Chains A and B, each alone.
Chain A
Amino acid sequence: MTIFNQNDPKRLTEDGVREDLQRQPHIFMKLAENALTVAESLRDNYFKNTASFVAALRRAIHAAGQGQRTEAILETANIPRLDWEMLRDEVVTFIDGGVGNVQISSQIPILLRVGSYMVRTGERNLAEREHFGYYPVILGDLEGGSKERSDFIDIVRITAELLGGLSALQRTPDLRVLMFHGPLVYLMSGYAGHTPFTEKDIDLFLDQYAPDRELGQNLKDEFLEQAKLDIYPQMTDRSDEWSERRIFEPLSWIAFLYRKLIQEAKIRNPRPVIVGVVERGKLREFSEKKLLERVFRGLRQKGNEDYFNKMYGRTDLKSPKNLLDRLGYTDTLLLAMILEPGQMSETWDISKYAGLREGNISLPGEAGTSRVNYAPLKSSQIGFPDIQGCYLHVSETTEPIRIEVFKELGGNQITEAAGRTYLYSRMLPGYGFPIGLDIADKYAHVPNWLTNAYGKLIKHQLGVSLQSGEISDAQMRRILIQAIYMTHRDWLFRPNN
């Protein structure tokens, strides 16, 4: 059921938009937040102006749809309707990572675990139907990565999730869909500059993920070979030393894993759909580069450049970026007001690697830094793959979600991903997000009782050791490890029968 009616002329008016907003409290609240944070001069009539702007967008899209306008400002389409009958006997794997924080004096991320949920639709034998995977990484065990950085946990999680996905693909010859919670590829420039992982770190990862030791070793060797021949020489003057020390620069290692994922998928027939699904995204690239760019172009064409300045009583709203900066609009906010439930936006090539440039890096065990150039990782040959994305509006009570696929795997990836994501999300219309990812999320979640228990135990042990004067680094480490490994598996982590 939808609260929208595409043919309702009122929908194209300011009043119609206002009525829609009142029916969608989640959007209304977002706008209310924005109204409080934008400049004072923009606060007056924020709702009214937004409604007026959205109504104009709706009219333009409608006119293009009716053939009354030559240049569409946004192409929308109905999400391909699939049903469960059509997707019977498909194997789908969902991947999600979770972080366990322990409260000692402050919150410390201590444990990361990636959960995978594999399900074969239509299978009635539960033992055959579902498999759960659980891969923990204790952050303290890793030697590489810049632990002082708050995003250290993120590179570990991205690595772990990717290895989880790769593992799922390798273990399941008939895998049809591999779905990640979150962007398929993150904005990688933010993670540049981390101290490389050591081979021991990678062994720790591979110990959890590789189906067998040999495969893990092969993966490692393959990367090191590529790194030695093609990757490191383009990134650093010290490539020989990097190769000799067998270190794994995080971004090039992650990029390698992406390429492996694509390589593995390409040899399958049918080619598995690999998709990342993003909820509550703050991205505004689509609005800036596509939607508003076209709007501004149209305004310029009509000599109406000051349209937004007049509307908001300003002089600086002359570009998409300025408009989004000043008014706080994001892709999901704008598209929630434009896309109807069951509709998807057009697909666009998402720019994920613009920020990859030169930076500094410390190698493990080194005090100083050396220069490193991340720009070569923009190339899909030795770096990150190209990503395409689009927005789906699942239900009237939720914001649109973004899906991302690998461009290299073919044009039908986005269509197939959209249809399945929508179908999976219809199971949770109040959340508007694929239920398989919700299941993997719950599975990967580090339960509070576990981390609370660790925190208490660590504090207790530390207190006892401090009192007895026995504390040493080795002792401290032993206590922490002991506490962390005191893993009572909860019911979710029962091995399958």
Chain B
Amino acid sequence: MSSTANVDKNSKYVGTIIGESTSREFRLAVAHETIREQDIIAVDAELRHPDGNQPPEQIRVWAKVQRIERLNPLFPSEAGHELAETRTDPFDTILSLSREMVTAVCQVLGAEPIDGKSGGKLDHLRYPPQPATRAYRPDSSDIARVVLGDLQEKQKRALDIATLSNRPEVDVLVDGHSIVTRHLAILAMTGAGKSVTARRIIEQLAKKNYPIVIFDPHGDYTGLSEVDGLKTRVKRYYAQFPIFEEDSETIAEIVNTLGYQLTDTMRSRFSDLFRAATSFIVDDPKEMKERTEWLAKAIGRPEIADYGVNPNMWLVANLAEAGELALRNDNGDENKAKLVELGWPGFDKYTKTDGRTLEGIKKRTYRAASALSRMEKTNQIVAKSAEPLPVDRKELVKYGQISIIALAGYTGDFQATIYSLIADTIFEARVTGELRLPTLLLLEEAHNFAPARAMTPAEHRAISTTKQIAQEGRKFGVGLILVSQRPSRLDETTLSQANSFIIMRMVNPADQNFVRKVIETLGEDEARILPDLDVGEAILSGQLINFPVLVKIKKSESEGEREEKDAFEELEKAYKDLRNNQS
């Protein structure tokens, strides 16, 4: 071997295998500072064929440094306590500080022919590497090859989302196919970079024109529309709560929550009222105009005739008022008859007492309508869009389109309900074949849409929808990206259906344990480093990658609404604007 080759070999040397070596794990005696946890290293080996007739096979065993142990056996802990007690610098004493044993515990990732002709695909190692073998740091190109694995031959599927954390020169490409078909979970605590990660993935998928529907509770994805190349393809919608797609019981509950509590008598009349409101809306514009004008006159609000009515809570309240007035007014028989004609079941049998009941319903429903309007308004502002959700929700799924449904402004139950209605529609359309294109649903704050313990009917419904898509979505071309900062609050069945994971910084022990329990591909040592990850660092695990690796996620081109800005700078800017306006 030439001297240059020797120098090269020595500069790449990281350690020597010691102790018991198995085909899953081995230990390396390493020199100081030559290696870091999560580094990818290699060991060359020779495998003889059992029959002995063929020449031995030269292989390269790939492994990942799971943890590094550093021990000074000549420094007893008793002496450490004494140093602490006397506040003594160990260098001033006779203690030995020079003899340390540094051992790296390495997990075997697999093996390939030493010439790398397998295209990065790693086989299972069936015979342990030999003790006393040298381990070395492979070239970046070789690492990139094995990290890529099968993707090498399927470049169209590759998404460029990260670099290796310990080797920034190595790009990490992941399998987009696995993400869109077999679901991905992005799990991290707040501020660890999960929305940036999700946006990076979305941007990459958008380059491949994959239809994506994003449920965005906080406006994290509005910035996508500002990315060159995506501007025309991002559609932002604000969400009106589609109350007429719900049953009367649900709407009564909403009135209870947003208005005042309905009495039992009111609840019994509410279903009739709701049915009347449902049947009030007709497709014929002329008929609709007549009905609107009648309603405006009946309750003495001419502006209704000007602006028209919409299928919302205001209409329910207006009809309650119309009913109340018809019952209380001695001359209300005509309106009574009209309400019966409009489809208010049994209204002709209502008495004056029912008038008082309707009055109560009216007050509560107006209040609820007002609260709901406020939510819708906030939602519209955050969405930065005047475009409401399309009536035909299948329109959300289009080739190359990213549909962002803003859910900000709504409380959790409303968000869950809106999500369920849309996701159900899309999924059913895929099942029936009405929707030709496959799609990917991204659920930000996924623990709200697939909670571990559903407390309200809205949550029950959302979890059932998500679970169904998680379990059957693969068959019907509906994929999920679940993004959550509280994994332990996620439904276990749903999460376990995800085949790919991006796990970022996580300090909550409950979340760590849950992740460790649910994600089979996540090793114990990887779980242990979760609290120590930097912002933007992530462990990729599952089918999106050849083997679990620690990466640094690349920056997304877009920014979210909640990107951290300096609070004091923002204050000064606002004050300056204020003064400019005043002058």
* Residues in A lying within 8 Å of B, measured CB to CB: 84-85, 87-88, 92, 94, 117, 119, 121-124, 126-127, 129-130, 132, 424, 426-431, 434-436, 438-439, 442-443, 491-492, 496
Footprint of A on B, CB under 8 Å? Answer: 29, 73-74, 76, 78-79, 82-83, 88-89, 91-99, 101
Nearest 8 A/B pairs, CB to CB:
A84-B92, A126-B98, A427-B79, A130-B98, A436-B94, A439-B74, A119-B94, A439-B96
- Identify A129's interface contact among B73, B98, B101, CB under 8 A: B98
Q: A428-B79, A431-B78 are in contact. Are A121 and B98 (CB under 8 A)?
A: no
Q: What's the Cα separation between A238 and B420 when bound, in Å?
A: 111
Interchain CB contact under 8 A, B82 and A121? no
Give chain A residues whose Cβ lies under 8 Å from the Cβ of B73.
Answer: 442
Cβ B92 vs Cβ A121 within 8 A: yes
A-B contact pairs, 30 of them (CB 8 A): A84-B89, A84-B92, A85-B92, A87-B92, A88-B92, A92-B94, A119-B95, A121-B91, A121-B93, A124-B91, A126-B98, A129-B91, A129-B98, A130-B98, A132-B99, A427-B78, A427-B79, A427-B82, A427-B95, A428-B76, A428-B78, A431-B78, A434-B94, A435-B95, A436-B94, A438-B76, A439-B74, A491-B29, A491-B101, A492-B99
Query: In the complex the two chains form, is B74's CB within 8 Å of A429's CB?
Result: no
State in angstroms the CA–CA spacing of A117 and B96 once bound together.
9
**In the complex, what's the smallest C-beta–C-beta distance from A448 to chain B, in angstroms?**
15
Given contacts A84-B89, A429-B78, A435-B94, 8 further A-B contacts (CB under 8 A): A84-B88, A85-B92, A119-B95, A121-B93, A122-B91, A130-B96, A428-B79, A442-B74
Complex: A117 Cα to B75 Cα, angstroms: 14
Bound-state CA distance A121–B97 (Å) is 11
Q: B82 is contacted by which of A87, A126, A130, A429 (Cβ under 8 Å)?
A: A429
- A426: chain B residues at CB < 8 Å are 82
CB distance from A212 to the nearest CB of B (A): 26
Q: Specify the chain A residue showing the minimal Cβ separation from B103.
A: A491
Q: Which residues of B contact A88 (CB under 8 A)?
A: 92
Chain B residues near A435 (CB, 8 Å)?
76, 79, 94-95
Q: Are A84 and B93 in contact (CB under 8 A)?
A: yes
Docked complex Cα distance between A117 and B99 (Å):
11
Per a CB cutoff under 8 Å, which of B79, B92, B99 touches A122?
B92
Q: Which residue of A lies closest to B29 (CB)?
A: A491
Instruction: Report how far A121 CA is from B95 CA in the complex, Å.
Output: 9
Question: B79, B93, B97 — which one has the most chain A CB atoms within 10 A of its CB?
Answer: B93
User: In the complex the two chains form, what is the Cα distance from A126 to B83 in whole Å?
Assistant: 19
Distance, CA A496 to CA B78, complexed state (A): 26
Whether the Cβ atoms of A430 and B78 lie closer than 8 Å is: yes
Docked Cα-Cα span, A251 to B82, in Å, equals 42
- Considering residues B74, B82, B89, which has the most beta carbons from chain A within 10 angstroms of its beta carbon? B74
Contact partners of B88 in chain A: CB under 8 A: 84
Contact partner of B93 (CB less than 8 A), chosen from A132, A427, A491, A496, is A427
* A87 partner residues in chain B, CB cutoff 8 A: 92
Residues of A within 8 A of B74 (CB): 439, 442-443
The minimal Cβ–Cβ distance linking A123 to chain B, given in whole angstroms, is 7
- Selected contact of A121 from candidates B76, B94, B99, CB within 8 Å: B94
The residue on A at minimum CB distance from B93 is: A84
Are B99 and A491 interface neighbours, CB within 8 A?
yes
Shortest C-beta distance, A445 to chain B (Å), equals 11
Q: Within 8 Å CB of A124, what residues of B?
A: 91
In the docked arrangement, what's the CA distance between A436 and B95, Å? 7
User: Are B78 and A424 within 8 A (Cβ)?
Assistant: no
Which of B89, B97, B98 has the most chain A CB atoms closer than 10 A to its own CB? Answer: B98
Q: In the complex, A429→B79 CA distance in Å?
A: 8
Which residue of chain B lies nearest to A88 when distances are taken between CB atoms in the complex?
Answer: B92
A494 CB to closest chain B CB (Å) equals 8
A449 to chain B, nearest CB (A): 11
A130 touching B78 by the CB < 8 A rule? no
Instruction: Please name the residue on chain B nearest to A427 by beta carbon.
Output: B79
A121 → chain B closest CB, angstroms: 6
Question: Taking CB as reference atom, which chain A residue is nearest B92?
Answer: A84
Chain A residues whose C-beta falls within 8 Å of the C-beta of B76 in the assembled complex: 428, 435, 438
Point out the residues of chain B lying under 8 angstroms from A427, CB to CB: 78-79, 82-83, 93-95
- By a CB distance below 8 angstroms, the chain B residues around A431 are 78
